[in-house]
Structure 1
């Protein structure tokens, strides 16, 4: 299945400590390199990943419209996890008490909520993979000085 929608703007990355997210395990150092990752997202990583995700997602246009109306796509967070040598992510989702909160008039079943949450998690993983495979090269930033002694 394919989702034919306009690519939204990339998310602005937060300042929250990733260890505080319920869905993120074991994050290393506190330098999450969000500025660099946000620049990569703006330079094409978000669009590349979104297109890949949209080509294969099971999310319907109606379900996507709900996620867009609630600005869930803007709530993604991506961060560098130096300990695991990966781009970590926090995918937004609808809360378990969505019925009590009356979040959106089109939300009327657990299957829609589940589909949205699962699809957003898939998008987060694809963005993370694209960033790591095609954009992140922290070692290329380091240039050894010319005047290092020979050992």
Structure 2
């Protein structure tokens, strides 16, 4: 069943703390190391919308549940970042608690559904929007061959 819902606003990836799954000591520049600006640009270029529409085709959530999550700002709370230690894009999903907009049944399934959306967003980013395989953002370590003591023959 295709749902008739508007694509919620994409997450704002700026001014976020270092994700809980990353050791803050391993990140020298959270903005640069986590590549959030690049990710946010790719989301704005269509990755968010593309992934959301695909997800909406198979989610178990109803239109009213998606609207309730959007009204509560849950879609905007998901986080995407480059994990420099694993060399891949990762995501974090907010904890969904029971509130005025979110009943207990929805709270129980919302985190799972949001995680599925995030996984689809990461897939979409990898497949169609970003090509970081060649440029993983991680500098190659120096080796002995980097600085060869031999001078070129003249």
**What band does the TM-score fall into relative to the shorter chain?**
0.7 to 0.9
CA contact (8 A) 1:29 1:81 kept: no
Tell me how far apart the structure 1 counterparts of residues 79 and 103 of structure 2 sit (CA, whole Å).
Answer: 27
Distance 1:60 1:36, change over 3 A: same
**Greater relative contact order, per chain length (Cα 8 Å cut-off, separation 6+):** 1
5+ residue gaps in structure 1?
A: 143-150
| Alignment size in residue pairs | 131
Could you state the TM-score of these two structures normalised by the residue count of structure 1? 0.75
Could you state the TM-score of these two structures normalised by the residue count of structure 2? 0.73
Tell me how far apart the structure 2 counterparts of residues 132 and 34 of structure 1 sit (CA, whole Å).
Answer: 14
Q: Which residue of 1 aligns with 2:5?
A: 5
Distance 1:112 1:83, change over 3 A: same
Instruction: Decide which structure has the larger Cα Rg and report it.
Output: 2
Q: Which residue of 2 aligns with 1:118?
A: 112
The CA deviation string for residues 102-142 of structure 1, in whole angstroms up to 9 with x for no partner, is x21x5443x22112221111111111111122222133699
CA contact (8 A) 1:75 1:91 kept: yes
Tell me how far apart the structure 2 counterparts of residues 9 and 119 of structure 1 sit (CA, whole Å).
Answer: 17
What's the Cα RMSD here?
A: 2.6
